[in-house]
Each structure stands twice: as C-alpha cells, then as structure tokens.
C-alpha cells in the first residue's frame, strides 16, 4: 500500500502491521481485572514483546501483514495460526487455505519441546518457531500487561525520541548482517547526525535541543517502512538499517529524508531553529564487508565525508554522491 503524502513525499512504500486492537478474543465489556491471552517473546528478536491474541484467528509468521510478525529467517511467511475453539485457543501448524485445507510450515511448530500439528494452548506453554524464536503463552491482567510492556519499552526504546536505543540497534544489525550476508541480499546502514547541534543547544538552550531531537525522530520514523530499524545511536546521532535496500535506493531514501528535515520549520518558543543533517551510507552487497563492525566503520567514514564537504548532504560509495 502507499502512505499518505508527508513532508518526505508520497512515493515511498510502507508496510502496515495489523494490530487487531479493536477485536477482543474474549467477551466484550469484560470486568476489570479479567485476564487476556498473550504470546510473549522470551527468546529471539524482540525479547519481551507481547502479542495479544485477538479475533477468531491470528496468523503468526514472517510476513509483515500478519497479526503477529516474527522476524526470524527460520519462520515461514505464514507459519502458524491461533484459532478460537469451544475448548479455548488452539495453535495450528501452517496456514489455512481457502478450501479449508492446512498447508503446514517448513520447519514445524514445537510446544514444550514436542512437535505439534494442533495444540490446545495452556497457560505457560512455550512455543518454538523457526531456529531461535520462542513464545510463551500466558494470561495477563491489565497490571501485568502494563508491567510487561513497560519492561520491553525500557529495554529497547530511547526515552526522549521514542526511537530504538543503541543496544537494540546493534543487536538487530548483527542479526541482519548475518542473514543478508548469507543470502546475498543487499542491506544498507545509514548513520546521520544533526549539523552544529552543540551550537544549537548553546544558542537556544537544552529544551530546544530536546524538541529538535524528538521532532526530527518523528519525521524520520514516518518516512520509513515498518521493517526498517531506526535508532538513536548517540547524543545527536541516529542510525537506520534499510533491509533489502541497495546503495542506489538507500541514497534516494536518505536524500528524501535530508531534504524533508531541511525544509521543515522547527519552531521553539517562537523562534525558528536552523536544523539540517549529514548522512553516511554503507551497503552490504555480497561479501564486500566482512563484519558488522566494518559496515558501521564504513558508514561512519561516509558520514565524516558529508561533514567535511560542507554538511547538509548525503555521502555513500556511489559515484558522484
């Protein structure tokens, strides 16, 4: 689908992940203190993330449009589903086809160590999908739900900008690097920072600086796809992992983001703030970078070139960038 036109233009594809938040698996209007069913990631990417089981059927798999999207190369696009039955919630290996038949997943579904095709879920069951993802089935009340959500947020999200934090970003980059290197698909890493941010802080005050960081992060987030990873990498430095994106496409995306920031009116306490960014891109294609560290180093060097050449520009390995 296409996103509505924004500060960055209307020609950048964005994937929407369905939340199902309006479809309650249990009786609508349940009493306060009632417990809802969840699958909670306890191993693999996004440890601590919770998925509420909603609606009559919830699809689990690697495809971004699933109600539960699992980012694991060993997980099929539509690996399994949870459906509502008279006895409770049933986990089914595979995808239900239009004719009602079940097309089973490639690597199977395991519950508490045993491979299953169909399993009535019980509180505490541990569900393994793919090579590393383990989900725990659990009933949570509102207090428990809030606690789990807060813990996940503290572990992965930067409090000021609401972008991912550096640790989460580094972990994701390491995993993505291994996957894309092994499969030969392109992966682009972007590092960028705010030009003359110290001067802005000194001249307008730290609250103005915080306003710029938060607003800029919101603008960039809107320009990216769901599968892209955006994080606060340092004080005024940010990072983006663009999956399945070659150097040419990454450069076009970065230029759209850079121009959007340049043209946006940052106004704080009635004063227009001068905000631009410099960006560096390194793209993994084949085996051109041996390690994640070398990819980060290359992106950082291109960022340095952007600053050295006058700032408010994007540099990469492309000729003429």
Under 8 Å CB-to-CB from 150, ≥6 apart: which residues? Answer: none
Task: Specify the pairing of strand 57-61 against strand 68-69.
Answer: parallel
d(CA 62, CA 45): 12
Q: Which two tokens stand for residue 252?
A: 């076009």
139-172 in b/e form (b: 16+ CB < 10 A) is ebeeeeeeebeeebeeebbbeebebbbeebbbbb
Q: Cα 283 to the chain's mean position, in Å?
A: 19
d(CA 69, CA 51): 9
- Report which secondary-structure segment, H or E, holds 284: strand 277-284
Query: Which candidate in 7, 56, 144, 236 is catalytic?
Result: 236
Asked if 133 and 75 touch (Cβ cutoff 8 Å), the reply is yes
Is 236 one of the annotated active-site residues of the chain?
A: yes
Query: Which are the catalytic amino acids?
Result: 236
């Amino acid at each position: 689908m296409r996103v509505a036109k924004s500060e960055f233009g209307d020609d950048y594809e964005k994937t929407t992940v369905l939340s199902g938040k309006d479809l309650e698996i249990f009786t609508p209007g349940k009493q306060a203190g009632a417990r809802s069913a969840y699958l909670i990631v306890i191993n693999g990417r996004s440890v601590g993330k919770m998925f509420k089981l909603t609606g009559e059927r919830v699809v689990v798999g690697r495809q971004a449009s699933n109600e539960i999207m699992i980012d694991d190369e060993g997980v099929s696009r539509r690996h399994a589903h949870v459906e509502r039955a008279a006895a409770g919630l049933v986990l089914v290996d595979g995808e239900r086809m239009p004719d009602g038949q079940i097309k089973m997943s490639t690597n199977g579904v395991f519950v508490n160590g045993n491979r299953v095709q169909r399993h009535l879920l019980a509180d505490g069951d541990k569900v393994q999908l793919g090579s590393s993802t383990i989900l725990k089935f659990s009933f949570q009340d509102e207090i428990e739900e809030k606690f789990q959500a807060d813990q996940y947020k503290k572990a992965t999200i930067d409090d000021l900008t609401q972008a991912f934090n550096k640790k989460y970003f580094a972990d994701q980059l390491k995993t993505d690097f291994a996957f894309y290197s092994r499969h030969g698909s392109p992966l682009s890493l972007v590092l960028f920072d705010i030009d003359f941010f110290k001067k802005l802080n000194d001249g307008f005050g730290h609250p103005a600086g915080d306003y710029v960081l938060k607003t800029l992060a919101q603008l960039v987030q809107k320009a990216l796809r769901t599968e892209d990873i955006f994080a606060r990498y340092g004080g005024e430095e940010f990072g983006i992992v663009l999956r399945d994106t070659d150097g040419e496409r990454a450069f076009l995306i970065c230029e759209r983001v850079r121009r959007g920031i340049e043209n946006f009116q940052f106004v704080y306490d009635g004063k227009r703030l001068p905000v631009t960014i410099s960006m560096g891109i390194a793209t993994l294609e084949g085996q051109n970078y041996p390690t994640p560290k070398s990819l980060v180093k290359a992106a950082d060097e291109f960022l340095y070139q952007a600053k050295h050449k006058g700032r408010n520009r994007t540099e990469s390995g492309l000729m003429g960038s």
